Structure formats: structure tokens, C-alpha cells
């Protein structure tokens, strides 16, 4: 069973800490991003998510990060946990980031 609890680090040096995964698969934690286009200093940001608990252990999951401490944006991540040949768990994710825009005509450029 893949256990998301603990620290994870991506290729860019961003880190995520998942505090505890509940029996129903819900979890919370903090995301420590290493990259940002915001003008304010980066700060750890809260995350909440849910993990699908599969019998084979290679679960899917998703979580939301609210960058409210230093930015007007929100990101969502979806992914899957894999048990590698070396016995280490590896997460593969995709994400969307929504930045705040002031006018509806600018909506086209708000999501990446």
C-alpha cells in the first residue's frame, strides 16, 4: 500500500508534507514550493486532498494547494503513486494553476 504520509520532493526542489492519511483516504499538509512568479516571498501553503485506497497499493490521489499566504492563486494536483523496482514509492502528478485576473475578458490567460 502506498503511504502518502511524510515528505515528498519533486525535480524542481519543491517539497510537500502530508501529515496523515485518514482511513477514508483524506489528508492535509503543507506545500513548500521552490518556484513562483508571485512578487511576495514564498511561504509554505496549506493543502487538502484525497487518496483512493487500492488493494494493489498503486493509488490515485488529488489535492488542492491554496497559495493564500503569498499569492492570489490556487493549484490542483492529480496523480498516482507507484511502487518502483527499487522499493521506493514514486509520485507522478499533473497540475493546473489558476491565477486571479481582474476582468472576465482576461479569463483566457488565468489558467496554466
CATH number for the domain that contains residue 11? 2.40.128.30
Which range (11-15, 33-37, 44-48) has the least confidence? 33-37
Exposed e or buried b per residue across 50-88, where buried means at least 16 C-beta atoms within 10 angstroms of its C-beta: bbeeeeeeebebebebebeebbebbbbbebbbeeeeeee
Strands of the sheet containing 26-32, edge to edge, are 6-9, 15-21, 26-32, 45-51, 60-66, 74-83, 89-98
pLDDT at position 67: 92
Q: pTM score, two decimals?
A: 0.88
Domain encompassing residue 71? 6-109
Q: How many folded domains does the chain comprise?
A: 1
- Domain assignment present for residue 1? The answer is no
Q: What's the pLDDT tens digit per position in 41-92?
A: 888 999 999 999 877 767 899 999 999 888 989 999 999 998 878 888 899 9
Amino acid at each position: 500500500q502506498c503511504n502518502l504520509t511524510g515528505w515528498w520532493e519533486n525535480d524542481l526542489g519543491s517539497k510537500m508534507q502530508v501529515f496523515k492519511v485518514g482511513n477514508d483516504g483524506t489528508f492535509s499538509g503543507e506545500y513548500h514550493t521552490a518556484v513562483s512568479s508571485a512578487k511576495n516571498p514564498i511561504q509554505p501553503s496549506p493543502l487538502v486532498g484525497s487518496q483512493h485506497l487500492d488493494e494493489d497499493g498503486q493509488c490515485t490521489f488529488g489535492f488542492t494547494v491554496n497559495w493564500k499566504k503569498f499569492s492570489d492563486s490556487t493549484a490542483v494536483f492529480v496523480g498516482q503513486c507507484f511502487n518502483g523496482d527499487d522499493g521506493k514509492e514514486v509520485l507522478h502528478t499533473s497540475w493546473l494553476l489558476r491565477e486571479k485576473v481582474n476582468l472576465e475578458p482576461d479569463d483566457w490567460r488565468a489558467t496554466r
